[in-house]
């Protein structure tokens, strides 16, 4: 269904009752919770790519008026100039009577001498030391929130680093001529349109003669033989790995996002944190690009 309207936080006009008066409980709400992606490894170290932030969905019922749903949106891992990357931060939703849903930040990409890190999806391994990719779906959730990162390989002539894991696919292994591609993310239609998020970053490669890994669909940043590309903001995409730039920056991870879908007839309009509010069909869609709350 098309998105019919867009308003800022706390605007009740056109979005249901605006006060909770007359709303019949329980209210069924759909949630999408994506954590921040990990950053890629960097320096003269054949950096592996960052893993995507964890990707989780939930449908829950709010039974009591004025239940505050607290939304936390995790940042992506910061770009680094040398060594292993930085893991992303967790995203979550919580509230009285609800099951807390927490997605784990994406794992950091590795580099020469620095191991990749586990997370929602795992970071890719650095190439110089044949480092393995790290585990995804850490901590374990069912359904899985992400996948493993790919392995790096210390093999001439171009020494490919591993790609970061994505929500829907493992990261690719590096080869002697190419960095591993990032794992693809997962599509969701919670906003009314199918959008893919939480792709892993691409691994680096030794020289411009090699082929750097491409970021996975859903916001993963490309790898490079220079500076890795960042993951896309508010997708939880992993950052690309970097090699031999001056300075050589591993790509930063993309910030996460939390989205709620609330029946329009039961929408209160009570928000903090300035979510973007749209209408799709018979639902109000609240997209939180930063932390805040919704009072049901």
Query: Residues 265-293: what's their mean pLDDT?
Result: 98
Residue 6 has pLDDT above 70, yes or no: no
pLDDT tens digits, one per residue of 85-133:
999 999 999 999 999 999 999 999 999 889 999 999 999 999 988 999 9
What is the chain's mean pLDDT, rounded? 92
User: Does residue 18 surpass a pLDDT of 60?
Assistant: no
Residue 246's pLDDT band, with cuts at 50, 70 and 90, is: low
- Residue 2 has what pLDDT? 34
178-227: pLDDT as tens digits: 999 999 999 999 999 999 999 999 999 999 899 999 999 999 999 999 89
Mean pLDDT of 230-245: 94
- Please tell me the distance from the alpha carbon of residue 185 to that of residue 136, in angstroms, as a whole number: 13
Q: Which of 144-153, 185-194, 246-255 shows the lowest per-residue confidence on average (mean pLDDT)?
A: 246-255
pLDDT at 128: 85
Distance CA 235, CA 36 (A): 8
25-81 tens-digit pLDDT: 999 999 999 999 999 998 777 999 999 999 999 999 999 999 999 999 999 999 988
The pLDDT, as a whole number, for residue 292 is: 98
Provide the pLDDT for residue 245: 64
Return the percentage of the chain with pLDDT > 70, whole number. 92
Label residue 11 by pLDDT band (50, 70, 90).
Answer: very low
pLDDT value at 12 more than 90: no
Query: Is the predicted pLDDT of residue 5 greater than 60, yes or no?
Result: no
Q: What is the pLDDT, as a whole number, of residue 19?
A: 43
- Phi and psi of 265, rounded to 5°? -65, -15
pLDDT of residue 37: 98
**Sheet arrangement for strand 55-62:** 3-7, 276-280, 283-288, 257-263, 27-34, 55-62
Decide if pLDDT at 242 tops 80: yes
Query: Domain extents for the chain?
Result: 35-55+75-88+99-254
Confidence of residue 21 (pLDDT cuts 50, 70, 90): low
pLDDT confidence band for 228 (50 / 70 / 90):
very high
Q: How far is C-alpha 73 from the geometric centre of its chain's CA atoms?
A: 10
The per-residue pLDDT for range 150-184, each reduced to its tens digit, is 999 999 999 999 999 999 999 999 999 999 999 99
pLDDT of residue 241: 96
Between CA 133 and CA 125 the distance in angstroms is 4
């Amino acid at each position: 269904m098309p998105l019919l309207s867009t308003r800022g936080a706390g605007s009740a006009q056109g979005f249901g009752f605006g006060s909770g008066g007359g709303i019949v409980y329980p209210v069924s709400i759909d949630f999408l919770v994506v954590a921040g992606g990990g950053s890629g490894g960097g320096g003269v170290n054949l950096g592996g790519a960052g893993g995507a932030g964890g990707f989780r969905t939930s449908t829950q019922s709010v039974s009591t008026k004025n239940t505050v749903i607290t939304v936390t949106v995790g940042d992506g891992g910061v770009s680094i100039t040398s060594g292993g990357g930085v893991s992303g931060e967790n995203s979550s939703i919580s509230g009285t009577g609800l099951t807390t849903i927490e997605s784990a930040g994406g794992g950091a990409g590795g580099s020469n001498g620095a191991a990749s890190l586990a997370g929602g999806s795992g970071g890719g391994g650095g190439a110089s030391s044949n480092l393995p990719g790290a585990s995804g779906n850490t901590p374990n959730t069912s359904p899985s929130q992400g996948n493993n990162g790919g392995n790096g390989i210390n093999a001439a002539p171009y020494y490919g680093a591993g790609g970061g894991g994505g929500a829907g696919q493992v990261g690719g292994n590096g080869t002697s001529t190419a960095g591993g591609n990032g794992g693809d993310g997962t599509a969701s239609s919670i906003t009314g349109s199918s959008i893919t998020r939480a792709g892993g970053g691409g691994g680096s490669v030794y020289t411009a003669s090699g082929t750097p890994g491409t970021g996975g669909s859903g916001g993963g940043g490309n790898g490079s033989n220079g500076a890795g590309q960042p993951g896309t903001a508010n997708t939880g995409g992993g950052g690309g790995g970097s090699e031999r730039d001056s300075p050589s920056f591993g790509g930063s991870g993309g910030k996460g996002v939390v989205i709620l879908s609330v029946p329009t007839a039961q929408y209160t309009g009570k928000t903090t944190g300035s979510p973007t509010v749209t209408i799709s069909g018979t639902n109000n869609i609240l997209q939180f690009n930063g932390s805040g709350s919704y009072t049901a």
